[in-house]
Amino acid sequence: MLDRVRRWAPTSFPMPSAADLRAGLVHGLVSVPDGLATGLLAGLNPIAGLYGYLFGTLAGALTTSSALMSVQATGAMSVIVADTPGLTGPGGDRGLATLTVLTGLFMLAAGIARLGALVRYVPNAVLTGFVNAVAVNIMLGQLGGVTGFAGQGPNRVVRALDTVLNMTAFHWPTVLIAGATLGLVLLLERTRLGPLGLFLAVVLASGAVALWSGSGVPTLASVAEVPRALPTPVLPSLTAVAALLVPAASLAFVGLVQGAAIGQAVPNPDGAYPDASGDFRGQGIANLVSGLLRGMPVGGSMSGTAVVVAAGGRGRYANLTAAGVMVLTILVLGPVVGRVAMPSLSALLMLIGLRTFKPDQVLMVWRTGGTQATVMATTFILTLLVPMQYAVLTGVGISVILFVARQSNRVTVKRWQIGPGVPLPTESDPPKVLPAGEVVVLTPYGSLFFASATVFESQLPVPGPESGGSVVVLRLRGNEELGSTFIKTIIRYHDVLEAAGSHLVLTGVSERVLAQLTGTRALDHVGTGNVFTATPNLGESLLAGLRRAEQLRGVRG
Map out the domains of the chain as residue ranges: 21-402, 412-552
Of 204, 202, 228, 425, nearest to 328 (Cα)? Answer: 228
Helix (H, G, I), strand (E, B) or coil at 391: helix
Are 253 and 396 a contacting pair, CB within 8 Å? yes
Tell me what the mean pLDDT of segment 529-535 comes to: 94
**pLDDT bracket for residue 33 (50, 70, 90):** confident
Give the per-residue pLDDT at 480: 82
State which H helix or E strand residue 509 sits in.
strand 503-509
Per-residue confidence (pLDDT) for residue 378, from 0 to 100? 86
Mean pLDDT across 421-429: 78
Residue type, 206: S
The whole-angstrom separation of Cα 458 and Cα 472 is: 15
Q: E strand or H helix at 103, and its extent?
A: helix 92-112
C-beta separation of 445 from 414 below 8 A: yes
* Separation CA 260–CA 236 (nearest Å): 28
Q: 199 or 98, which is more confident?
A: 98
CA distance 98 to 235: 8
Q: What is the pLDDT of residue 146?
A: 92
Packing angle, helices 75-82 and 241-265, rounded to 10: 170
pLDDT at 2 over 60: no
pLDDT, average across residues 21-36: 88
Confidence bin at 62 (pLDDT 50/70/90):
very high
**Does the structure show a pLDDT above 80 at 116?**
no
Q: What is the pLDDT of residue 405?
A: 66
Residue 289 · residue 59 · CB < 8 Å: yes
3-state secondary structure of 503: strand
Looking at domain 412-552, its CATH superfamily turns out to be STAS domain (3.30.750.24)
Structure confidence at residue 121 (pLDDT) = 65
Q: Is 246 left (phi over 0), alpha (psi -120 to 50) or beta?
A: alpha
Q: Determine the pLDDT at residue 3.
A: 47
Contacts of 467 by beta carbon, 8 Å cutoff, 6+ apart? 433, 434, 435, 436, 500, 501, 502
Task: Please give the residue that has the higher pLDDT: either 506 or 195.
Answer: 506
Q: Which of 255-259, 268-272, 387-391, 441-445 has the highest mean pLDDT?
A: 441-445
Q: Does position 118 have pLDDT exceeding 50, yes or no?
A: yes
Per-residue pLDDT for 252 more than 90? yes
In percent, how much of the chain has pLDDT > 90? 42
Q: How far apart are CA 94 and CA 90, in angstroms?
A: 9
Greater pLDDT, 122 or 188: 188
Task: Give the pLDDT band (50/70/90) at residue 150.
Answer: confident
Query: Which phi and psi (to 5°) does residue 434 adopt?
Result: -70, 120
pTM: 0.71
Least-confidence region, from 112-126, 247-261, 279-293, 300-314 = 112-126
Per DSSP, 341 falls in state B
pLDDT surpasses 80 at 422: no
Question: Do residues 347 and 356 lie in contact, with contact meaning Cβ atoms separated by under 8 Å?
Answer: no
CA 142 to chain centre: 25
pLDDT of amino acid 556: 55
Of the pLDDT bands very low, low, confident and very high (cuts 50, 70, 90), residue 408 is low
Nearest-angstrom CA–CA distance, 63 and 428: 53
Cα–Cα nearest to 107, from 260, 263, 1, 231 = 260
Q: d(Cα 121, Cα 117) in Å, to the nearest integer? A: 8
Alpha-carbon distances, residue 112 vs 7, 19, 187, 396 (angstroms):
12, 33, 45, 21
Q: How far is CA 454 from CA 409, 443, 449, 476, 506, in A?
A: 10, 16, 10, 17, 19
Q: Is the pLDDT of residue 557 over 70?
A: no
Highest mean pLDDT among 118-127, 385-394, 425-434, 547-556: 425-434
> In this structure, what DSSP letter does residue 118 have?
G
Reply yes or no on whether the pLDDT at 516 is more than 70: yes
Question: Residue 505 region, left (φ>0) first, then alpha (ψ -120 to 50), else beta?
Answer: beta
Q: Of 107-116, 166-175, 220-229, where does mean pLDDT reach its minimum?
A: 220-229
List C-alpha distances in Å: 198 to 307, 320, 363.
11, 21, 30
Mean pLDDT of 282-306: 93
How many whole angstroms separate alpha carbon 518 and alpha carbon 466?
A: 32
Per the DSSP assignment, residues forming a β-bridge with 72 are 299
Asked if the model's pLDDT at residue 193 lies above 70, the reply is yes
**Reported confidence tier of residue 409, pLDDT bands at 50, 70, 90:** low
**Average pLDDT of the residues in 344-370:** 87
**Average pLDDT score, the chain:** 87
Q: How confident is the model at residue 1 (pLDDT cuts 50, 70, 90)?
A: very low
Highest mean pLDDT: which range of 7-16, 149-158, 217-226, 244-253: 244-253
**pLDDT tier, 534 (very low <50, low <70, confident <90, very high otherwise):** very high
Cβ atoms of 368 and 412 within 8 Å: the answer is: no
Which of the residue ranges 99-113, 418-432, 520-534 would you say has the lowest mean pLDDT?
418-432
Count other Cβ atoms within 10 Å, centred on residue 252.
27
Gyration radius (Cα) of the chain, Å: 30
Q: What would the pLDDT profile of 436-488 be if each residue is shown by its tens digit? A: 989 999 999 887 766 678 888 889 999 988 888 899 999 999 888 887 888 89
Tell me the three state secondary structure of residue 415.
strand
The answer for 86, left when phi > 0, alpha when psi is -120 to 50, beta otherwise, is left
- For the four alpha carbons of 403, 404, 409 and 411, in that order, the dihedral sign comes to positive
Of 230, 235, 238, residue with least CA distance to 292: 235
Pairwise CA distance, residues 82 & 191, whole Å: 35
What is the DSSP secondary structure assignment for residue 88, as one 8-state letter? S
